Structure 1
Amino acid sequence: MLNRVANTIYWMNRYIERAENYARFLDVNFNLALEMPPSVAEQWQPLIVATGDWQAYTDRYGGVEKNQVIYFLGFDPENPNSIFTCISNARENARSVRSEITKEVWEQINYLYYFVKKGNEKERWKKKDPRKFFRKIKDGCQLLYGMYDATISRNEGWHFAKMGRLVERADKTSRILDVKYHFIVSSSQILGSPLDMVQWVALLKSVTAYDMYRKTNGRLTPMGIAAYLLLDPEFPRSMYKCLIQAERSLQSITGDVEHPATAELTRMRIAMEQTNVEDIFAGGLHEYIDQFQQNLNRASSLIFTSFGAVNTIIQETSSQNQ
C-alpha cells in the first residue's frame, strides 16, 4: 500500500474517533453540569484542559463560559480539534482515498459532514440543550465503525484504519481520566463525598463504560473505576485493550515484532501488564497518564515515519490555503 494512502486512512479514522469522543465528552459534561448542586460551579475548564486545547482556548477567549466551550470544542472551524474540523478533515481524507473504501462508508462520512455543517450554520451551541445533537454525532460515528468493519476486507487498509482508531481511543480514554484529576485539583473538598462519586460515574459514562463496569465489578469505587479504564484486558476502550489491539494490527502489517513502532507499543503493553492501579495511584494518576500520552505520541510518530512520511491531503490543503 502506498504511504500516502496508508497515512490518509490512518488519520481519517483518528479524526472520526476524535470527533466521536468530543461529542461524548460534551454530552456527558452537560449532563454532569445539570446534576451538580446549585452551590457547585459548572466544570467546563477541566474538559478543555483534558482535551489538550487549553492554551488555544485561552488565547482566543480568555475566560471560561459554557457556550464558548461548546462552540470551541464542537463547532469552531479555527480549532483544529473541534468536531466540525475533525469531520471535515475525515471527509477530505476519505475523498482522497475513495477507491480504498466502500460506497456505504463514504456516504456515512458525507452524511456526518453535512449534519455537523448544518448544526454549525444553525448555531446549535446556543441551544438550551444541545445534547441530542451531540448524541446523533456519536451514534453516526459508531454506525460508521460498524459499516467499516462490515464492508471492508481485512487487508492492510483495514488494519491502518483500526490502528488509527485505537491510538486515538487510548489517548482520549487517558485524557478523560485526567479530567477527574483536574476536578480533584480544583475541588479537593469533595473527595469521598456523594458528589465525588457522581463525577466518577460521569467519567464511566463518558466512555460508555458504566453498564459493563457494573456487570464486571459491581460496586463503584474510584480505584475500581480507574483500574477498569486503565488496565482491563476485555473492555474495548480501556487503555490496555487499545494497546493490545493496535499492536496486533501493526504486527499484521509489518510481520515484524522488532519493527520500531511495534516494539514501542509492545514495550507500553508489557509495562501496563507489570503494574497495578495501587502503584499508579501511589505514583500519581496524572503523572502516569502524562507519561502514557508521551509514549503513545512517540509510537504514533514512529508509525508516521515508517508508513506515512508524506503530507496528508489535509496538510496539503492547509498549506495551499495559507
Structure 2
Amino acid sequence: MLTAADLSMDVGIVVNESPADEKSNFLPVFRSGSCAERGLKQYMEDEHVCIDNLVEHLGASSNFPAPGAFYGVFDGHGGTDAASFVRRNILRFIIEDSHFPICVEKAIESAFVKADYAFADDSELDISSGTTALTALIFGRTLIIANAGDCRAVLGRRGRAIEMSKDHKPICISEKLRIEKLGGVIYDGYLNGQLSVARALGDWHMKGPRGSACPLTAEPELQETNLSEEDEFLILGCDGLWDVMSSQCAVTIVRKELMLHNDAERCSRELVREALKRKTCDNVTVIVVCFSPDPPPRIEIPQFRVQRSISPEGLNLIKGHM
C-alpha cells in the first residue's frame, strides 16, 4: 500500500488527513441504505451497488482485509447499458487487477479504464451510451473514493461535510484546461456541445482510438482518508441530489435523521424525497453508509462565560453622566 507521502506526489490521488490520532483503534462497522427514484425523467438510467460485507461477498479465499465494504453510484445517459455494465463488473476489475492488493489505488485507477475498454468490446451493448462512476472501497479504516463524472461523495464528520470527490463538469477550471489542451471545446457548458460531464465510461462515439488521450476520459480521480471516531457516515449521490442541495445540507439532514431513528435506508429516502420536493430535474440515487451501529452523539456546544470589566476611567465617565 502506498504511504500518505507517496500518494501526495500523485496528482490523481488526494490524501484527506483525518484530524484523529493515527494510532486510533477505531474500526468501522458498516451498515447502509439506498434509495433511487426516476423523478421527472422519462426513464431511470441510474444504477448502484451496496456491499456491506465484502469479505463474505468475495469468499474466504479472497484474502481481502476485514472489515471491508464496497459501494457505487453510476449515473447513466443515452440508455442504461453502460451504467448496468459498470455496476456489474467494476468490482471484479479491481479485485482481479495485477496491482491488487499491494497497491489498491493503482488497481482502482486501472479498473475504471479496463471496464471502459471491456464495455466497448461487448458487441451486444450500445457503446454510445455512457455513465459516470463513483465508488467507495473501504478496508479496515482506509476509505478510498474514486470518481469519474459528477456524482459526489461526502463524509459526515461530527456534523461537518467533508467532500471526498470533485464534480467533473466541463466548466470546472481544471477540467476545462485539460479538455482544451486535448483539442476539445466547451459549448454552453457541454463537452464538444454534447455532454454535460467531462469524465465518463462509455460514450465511445466521442472517444478516439483505444489508449489515445482524448477530451472525454474514463480515468478517475481518487481521494483517500483514514476513518476515525469522528467520521459518522458517508453519502454517495448522483447529480440529481447535488443539483438542488449542498453537501452541508445533506449531512445535516442525515445526522438529524440518524439521531431520530438510526436507520440508514430511511435517511437515503429522506434525501431523495427532499431532492424531489426541490424539483430536481434528474433521476435521484442516494446511498448512506454508517460507520457505527450507534446513532451520532449530540454535539455539545461549549458555554463560554464572558467577563466584562470597566476601567477606572470608564467608570468615572459613566458617573459623570449620572
Would you call these one fold, judging by a TM-score over 0.5? no
TM-score, normalised via structure 1 length: 0.29
Would you tell me which structure has more strand in proportion to its own residues? Answer: 2
Please say which structure displays the higher CA radius of gyration.
2
